[in-house]
């Protein structure tokens, strides 16, 4: 993960994940989720469920926080995380002040605890492990450079589930196929904003052209730093990470793992060369052992 | 940053082992400053104090964290049902108290009353397994230790990557596919060097194995009727796609070869090339399954990508050697015995090396109660089978059968141990986060520090 927010990289077409759509290629779309603006209302979760007809997934009382959704999964394509942290006042007032407005005086800042809230979603990785490992081609990259499962193709092999470094995609039990966020493929094709971003009341979830979002995110981090929120950093915003950047990236106020994100996600397909080389050696070892065994049998 | 889930360090005898709230606060990040010190007892009153922010969550916590402001409130008289009060929302008077509050926060670590200990463990498994388990495993320890350590933070101890959804069919497929592949190789070697009897048993095993394997694979699909969608594309980036094609080719060639060897149909003009092809696809099918596992985000699998193929190679050799040893008269089975012994040894050696080379946090998967017995039994069976076959297999057919069965059992158990270890590994956030955090720290790119 890179944290230099000012190195905004505009993705040159050659480095984009998609194969060519030719003239139908659209600008890459994505989400910028600014967690410093999230109020934890979970409207994104509801809007996503309603628009996409995602089934209910039961009522689990976590007993840990206001987060009873627990995790992304086949039936949860947006998940709002709640993190409660004790923070000393001298640090807290800066955070609190900045989260409210620059005009709130220092002494009015709430102290003692801070609440981090973050709406998690499929990252629509530039190098997406799920797409790489899918044996049927059900997972594909759209003309918007988003990652979508073709439900009429998926045969539920389940390979994408452990392949995803973020634990996003999962197999729906009663259905047998893999499901995840589509970045509202049906909406964005019609120039509509995805349901979650549309429902977000604070613009914590921003949808748009990825290049533009990256610029906006860089400016936002700069602004937060100026207000003293030094912890603000971007996550998955450029190509320096193991997935070569994400279509859905985040502004965080703490380390990624605090929000349940992996700090250094890697597209596992990057290791294919290493794995196959080892497998080749192992296969040759087998041939050698059998050749030796047969030769030994002949001599006796 | 001293935070949170403190792992090592002193643990008081009265430490609540199962305090989900405190564990949650810790694992969710807890305090962010580096200056916390252990201080279970409030300095002013001598009474135990509780961390701020707990009362509003449970509504039951005693004397939640307001200490440091008003001594009268530290005595545990705060109405715990009043979340606002307990949460420290005391408005205007606060400004001047800020330094005290902050120091109070650095001292809060509590001994919690008995009734709290069993309370609140209601997290009750969502889809993602039992969050309580990982907390119990790591949390609860050393709540007072504020010493920064290597234990990474996580989101309430929840897993980061998903648990593989594959079920029992998959490890059994690894076994049958591996045995079929190595048997096809042995059938080729034996037949082409004139050992017809051994070639026949080995090709029979290859035939059965390649017949059973696709059935297992199809059973594991969420939509078995769509199995053929596997063959609508060939994707070099997907080990499963490559492997499906490899298995199909092995099935065809090994099937034809077995017909030639056992029934003399198809004739040699088809049978011989088929047997040769089976000898090529066989080892491929035996080892590609390791690549299938290592091309995931499951730590214990992907981090073993250089060694696991050798485990699978050894395991395949052991099972195929064992099967052929058991099914072939002693006089013709010498190559099978050698193969089985070498395979059993390779399997044990390679799996030991694999486990040793893993990061210690990840290698812990093989110590998990659901994995360790399988792992130990696998090695015992492999070594025992190799010993029996090697020492007595050439004298006695019963010994050959017993040794061969042991080698096969060891092979199957090894696949199961690796398979189960993957499930354990995925459910432990530390295995995902720990090594990744180390990588980030080593690169020094995670530069945004609070101070």
Domain containing residue A90: CATH number: 3.30.70.20
User: Beta strand pairing status for A170-171 and A248-252?
Assistant: unpaired
Question: CB distance A275–B165 less than 8 Å?
Answer: no
Task: From residue B340, give the alpha-carbon distance in Å to each of B37, B205, B336, B346, B388.
Answer: 59, 14, 6, 10, 11
Q: Which helix (H) or strand (E) holds B52?
A: none
A100 — pLDDT class (breaks 50, 70, 90):
low
Nearest CA in chain B to A110: B89
pLDDT digits (tens, 9 = 90+) for A18-67: 557 888 899 999 999 999 999 999 999 999 999 999 999 878 899 999 99
Residue A245 lies in a domain: yes
Decide: B241 and B233 in contact? Cβ < 8 Å.
yes
A138 and A280 in a single domain? The answer is: no
- Contact by Cβ (8 Å): B180, B254: yes
Q: Is residue A108 a part of any domain in this protein?
A: yes
Give the A window 258-287 contacts with B, CB below 8 Å: 258-266, 268-269, 271-272, 274-276, 278-279, 281-287
Whole-number pLDDT of residue A22: 86
Tell me the Ramachandran region of residue B3: left when phi exceeds 0, alpha when psi lies from -120 to 50, beta otherwise: beta
Which of A70, A90, A240 shows the shortest C-beta gap to B102? A90
**A178 and A276: one domain?**
no
CA angle, A280 then A283 then A287, to 5°: 135
Residue A229, pLDDT score = 86
Helix axes A272-299, B334-357, angle to 10 degrees: 150
Secondary structure string (H, E, C) spanning B176-226? HHHHHHHHHHHHHHHHHCCCHHHHHHHHHHHHHHHHHHHHHHHHHCCCHHH
Q: pLDDT tens per residue, chain B (451 residues)?
A: 334 343 433 343 344 444 444 444 444 444 443 333 333 434 444 444 433 333 333 333 333 333 333 333 333 333 434 333 333 333 333 333 333 333 333 333 333 333 333 333 333 333 333 333 333 333 333 333 344 445 789 999 999 999 999 999 999 999 999 999 999 999 999 999 999 999 999 999 999 999 999 999 999 999 999 999 999 999 999 999 999 999 999 999 999 999 999 999 999 999 999 999 999 999 999 999 999 999 999 999 999 999 999 999 999 999 999 999 999 999 999 999 999 999 999 999 999 999 999 999 999 999 999 999 999 999 999 999 999 999 999 999 999 999 999 999 999 999 999 999 999 999 999 999 999 999 999 988 654 433 3
Question: Band of the pLDDT at A103, cuts 50, 70, 90?
Answer: low
This model of the complex carries an ipTM of 0.89
| pLDDT, greater one: A112 or A209 | A209
C-alpha separations of B152 from A73, A280, B99, B280, B288 in Å: 24, 36, 29, 46, 33
B163 interface with A at CB cutoff 8 Å: yes
| Beta carbons of B123 and A63 less than 8 Å apart | yes
User: What order of strands is seen across the sheet that includes strand A248-252?
Assistant: A205-209, A29-34, A248-252, A233-235
Residue A60 with chain B: CB contacts under 8 Å: 123-126
Q: Cα angle at B344 between B341 and B349, to 5 degrees?
A: 125
Residues A255 and A280 placed together within one structural domain of the fold: no
3-state secondary structure (DSSP) of residue B449: coil
Where in the sequence is the domain holding A289, given as residue range(s)? 269-300
Is residue A250, in this structure, part of any structural domain at all? Answer: yes
Angle at B156 between CA A263 and CA A248, to 5 degrees: 40
Probe site for chain B from A293, A296, A299 (most B CB atoms < 10 A): A293
Q: Give pLDDT, residue B428.
A: 96
Judging by DSSP bridges, how do beta strands A139-141 and A147-149 pair with one another?
antiparallel
Cβ count within 10 A of residue B33: 19
The per-residue pLDDT for range A137-149, each reduced to its tens digit, is 999 999 999 999 9
Residues 186-245 of A with CB under 8 A from B: 230-233, 240
Identify the closest residue of chain A to B57 by CA–CA distance. A65
Question: Coil, strand or helix: which one is B48?
Answer: strand
Q: Which residue of A has its CA nearest to B125?
A: A60
Q: How far apart (Å, rounded) are the C-alpha atoms in residues B304 and B143?
A: 33
Check residue A59 and give its pLDDT: 81
What is the SS3 string spanning A200-224? CCCCCEEEEEHHHHHHHHHHHHHHH
Q: Which residues pair with A118 in a beta bridge?
A: A81
Mean pLDDT confidence for A158-178? 97
Q: Is residue A273 part of a domain?
A: yes
Q: How many whole angstroms separate alpha carbon B396 and alpha carbon B403?
A: 10
Does any CB of chain B come closer than 8 Å to the CB of residue A113?
A: yes
The answer to whether residues B217 and B230 touch, using CB atoms and an 8 Å cutoff, is no
CB burial of residue B356 (10 Å; 0-12, 13-18, 19+): exposed
pLDDT at position B51, please?
A: 39
Q: Please answer whether residues A217 and A234 qualify as being in contact, where contact means their C-beta atoms are separated by less than 8 angstroms.
A: yes
Is residue A4 situated within a structural domain? no
A83 in B contact zone (CB under 8 Å): yes
Taking each helix axis from N to C end, the angle separating B334-357 and B397-427, rounded to the nearest 10 degrees, works out to 20
Put simply, the chain B residues between 390 and 429 with a CB less than 8 A from any chain A CB are 422, 426, 429
Q: Would A6 be classed as within a structural domain?
A: no
Residues A167 and A280 reside in one and the same domain? no
Residue A173 shares a structural domain with residue A194: yes
B33 contacts A87? CB cut-off 8 A:
yes
Whether A4 contacts chain B with CB within 8 A: yes
- Cβ–Cβ < 8 Å for B54, B80: no
Total domains present in chain A: 2
- Chain segment A177-217, per-residue pLDDT in tens: 999 999 999 999 999 999 999 999 999 999 999 999 999 99
**Quick one: A298 and A203 in the same domain?**
no
Are residue A137 and residue A281 in the same domain, yes or no?
Answer: no
Nearest-by-CA chain A residue for B169: A157
Q: State the pLDDT at residue B409.
A: 98
Residue A42 domain flag:
yes
Residue of A nearest to B124 (CA): A62
Residue that is written with structure tokens 């087998």 in the block: A286
Does residue A78 share a domain with residue A27? yes
**Paired residues of A235 in beta bridges:** A250
Please tell me the distance in Å from A191's CA to the nearest CA on chain B: 32
A145 and A280 co-located in one domain: no
CB within 8 Å of chain A, chain B residues 289-308: 290-292, 294-298, 301-302, 305-308
Q: Cα separation of B168 and B148, whole Å? A: 41
- Do A244 and A282 have their domain in common? no
DSSP-derived 3-state class of residue B120? coil
| Range A114-152 burial, b when 16+ CB lie within 10 A, else e | bbbbbbbbbbbbbbbbbbbbbbbbbbbbbbbbbbbbeee
Are A63 and A136 within one domain?
yes
- Chain A residues closer than 8 Å to B182 by CB: 286, 290
Confirm or reject CATH 1.10.1200.10 for domain B169-430, answering yes or no: no
Of residues B449 and A292, more confidently modeled: A292
A5 domain residue, yes or no: no
**Segments making up each domain of chain B, as ranges:** 20-119, 169-430
State whether A147 and A276 are in the same domain: no
A241 contacts B445 by C-beta, under 8 angstroms: no
């Amino acid at each position: 993960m890179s944290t230099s927010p000012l190195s905004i990289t505009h993705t040159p077409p050659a480095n984009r994940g998609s194969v060519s759509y030719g003239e139908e290629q659209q600008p890459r779309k994505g989400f910028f989720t600014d967690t410093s603006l999230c109020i934890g209302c979970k409207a994104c979760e509801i809007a996503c469920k309603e628009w996409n007809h995602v089934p209910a997934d039961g009522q689990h009382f976590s007993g840990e926080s206001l987060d009873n959704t627990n995790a992304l999964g086949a039936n949860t394509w947006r998940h709002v995380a709640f993190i409660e942290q004790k923070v000393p006042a001298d640090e807290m007032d800066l955070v609190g002040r900045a989260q409210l407005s620059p005009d709130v005086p220092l002494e009015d800042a709430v102290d003692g605890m801070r609440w981090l809230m973050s709406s998690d979603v499929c990252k629509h990785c530039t190098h997406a492990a799920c797409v790489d490992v899918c044996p049927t081609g059900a997972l594909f990259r759209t003309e918007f450079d988003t990652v979508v499962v073709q439900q009429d193709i998926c045969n539920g092999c389940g390979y994408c589930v452990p392949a995803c470094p973020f634990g996003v995609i999962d197999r729906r039990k009663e259905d047998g196929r893999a499901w995840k966020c589509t970045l509202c493929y049906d909406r964005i094709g019609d120039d509509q904003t995805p349901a979650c971003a549309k429902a977000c009341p604070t613009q914590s979830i921003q949808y748009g052209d990825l290049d533009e979002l990256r610029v906006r995110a860089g400016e936002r981090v700069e602004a937060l730093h100026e207000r003293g929120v030094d912890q603000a950093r971007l996550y998955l915003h450029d190509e320096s990470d193991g997935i070569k950047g994400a279509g859905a990236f985040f502004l965080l106020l703490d380390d990624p793992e605090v929000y349940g994100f992996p700090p250094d996600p890697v597209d596992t397909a990057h290791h294919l060369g290493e794995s196959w080389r080892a497998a080749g050696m192992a296969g040759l070892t087998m041939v050698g052992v059998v050749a030796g065994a047969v030769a030994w049998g002949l001599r006796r | 940053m001293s935070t949170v889930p403190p792992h090592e360090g002193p643990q008081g005898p009265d430490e609540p082992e199962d305090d989900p709230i405190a564990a949650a606060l810790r694992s969710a990040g807890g305090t962010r400053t580096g200056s916390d010190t252990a201080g279970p007892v409030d300095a002013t009153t001598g009474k135990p104090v509780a961390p701020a922010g707990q009362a509003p969550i449970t509504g039951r916590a005693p004397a939640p964290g307001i200490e440091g402001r008003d001594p009268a409130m530290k005595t545990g008289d705060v109405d715990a049902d009043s979340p606002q009060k307990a949460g420290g929302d005391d408005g205007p008077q606060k400004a001047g108290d800020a330094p005290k509050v902050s120091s109070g926060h650095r001292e809060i670590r509590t001994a919690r009353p008995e009734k709290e200990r069993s309370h609140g463990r209601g997290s009750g498994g969502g889809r993602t397994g039992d969050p309580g388990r990982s907390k119990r495993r790591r949390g609860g320890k050393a709540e007072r230790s504020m010493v920064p350590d290597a234990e990474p933070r996580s989101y309430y101890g929840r897993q980061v990557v998903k648990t593989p959804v594959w079920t029992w069919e998959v490890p059994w497929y690894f076994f049958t596919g591996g045995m079929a592949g190595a048997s096809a190789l042995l059938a080729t070697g034996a037949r082409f060097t004139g050992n017809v009897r051994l070639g026949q048993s080995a090709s029979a095993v290859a035939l059965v194995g390649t017949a059973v394997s696709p059935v297992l694979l199809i059973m594991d699909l969420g939509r078995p009727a769509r199995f053929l969608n596997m063959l609508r594309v060939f994707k070099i980036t997907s080990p499963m796609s490559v492997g499906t094609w490899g298995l199909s080719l092995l099935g065809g060639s090994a099937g034809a070869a077995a017909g030639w060897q056992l029934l003399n149909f198809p004739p040699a003009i088809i049978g011989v090339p088929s047997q040769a092809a089976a000898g090529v696809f066989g080892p491929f099918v035996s080892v590609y399954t390791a690549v299938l596992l290592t091309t995931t985000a499951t730590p214990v699998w992907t981090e073993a990508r250089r060694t696991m193929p050798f485990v699978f190679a050894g395991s395949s050799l052991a099972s195929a050697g064992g099967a052929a040893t058991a099914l072939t008269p002693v006089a013709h089975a010498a190559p099978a015995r050698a193969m089985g012994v070498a395979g059993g040894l390779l399997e044990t050696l390679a799996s030991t090396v694999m486990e040793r080379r893993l990061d210690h946090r990840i290698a812990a998967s093989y110590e998990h109660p659901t994995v360790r017995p399988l792992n130990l039994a696998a090695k015992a069976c492999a070594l025992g089978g190799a010993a029996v076959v090697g020492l007595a297999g050439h004298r006695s057919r019963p010994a050959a059968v017993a040794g061969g069965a042991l080698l096969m059992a060891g092979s199957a158990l090894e696949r199961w141990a690796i398979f189960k270890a993957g499930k354990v590994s995925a459910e432990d956030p530390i295995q995902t986060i720990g090594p990744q955090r180390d990588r980030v720290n080593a690169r020094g790119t995670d530069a945004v520090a609070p101070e």
